[in-house]
Amino acid sequence: MADFGHRPADLGPIPRHRARSYGRDMTSTSSKPPLAAVTDLLCFVLVVGGGSGLLYEWLGVKIRVLGFVRFLAPGGYEIYAYIVMVVLGLIVGAAGDAVFRRGRG
C-alpha cells in the first residue's frame, strides 16, 4: 500500500516548506464580506449579460449566457440598455472593490 505522506525510503519525508497546499488555510482572513461578494456577483451579471446582448445586437452572435437580462432592455432601446448594463456593472464592481479595500485597512 502506498504511503502518500512520504517519499520512497531512500529520500526521506517531504520537507514542510516544499509541500504543496492546494486548499485554503482554515485560519485565512482573506474571505470577502457578504457585501463585496454581492457586488462581485452583480458586476459579473451586468457585464457578461450586457456584453452578450451587445454581441447579439451588433454581430448576430447568439451567446445567451444570461438570457434573462434581455427582459431589462426596453423594446427599441436594446443597444443603449446593454451599454448601460456594462458601464453600470463596471461601476458596481469598482465601488464594491473600493469598499472592500477600505474595510481591510
The answer to whether residue 62 sits within a structural domain is: yes
Structural domain boundaries, residue 62: 33-104
Q: What is the pTM of this model?
A: 0.66
The answer to whether residue 5 sits within a structural domain is: no
Q: Which three cell numbers stand for residue 92?
A: 458596481
The answer to whether residue 80 sits within a structural domain is: yes
The answer to whether residue 65 sits within a structural domain is: yes
The answer to whether residue 73 sits within a structural domain is: yes
The answer to whether residue 18 sits within a structural domain is: no
23 has pLDDT over 60: no
- Report the number of distinct structural domains present in the chain: 1
The answer to whether residue 27 sits within a structural domain is: no
Q: How far apart, in whole angstroms, are the C-alpha atoms of residue 62 and residue 60?
A: 6
pLDDT (0 to 100) of residue 6: 55
What whole-number percentage of the chain has pLDDT above 90? 38
Inter-axis angle of helices 78-104 and 34-59, nearest 10: 160
* Greatest extent of the chain over all pairs of C-alpha atoms, in Å: 74
The answer to whether residue 48 sits within a structural domain is: yes
Q: Residues near 32 by Cβ (< 8 Å), separated by ≥ 6?
A: 40, 100
Would you state the torsion angle of the CA atoms of residues 62, 63, 68, 70, taken in this order, to the nearest 10 degrees?
-50
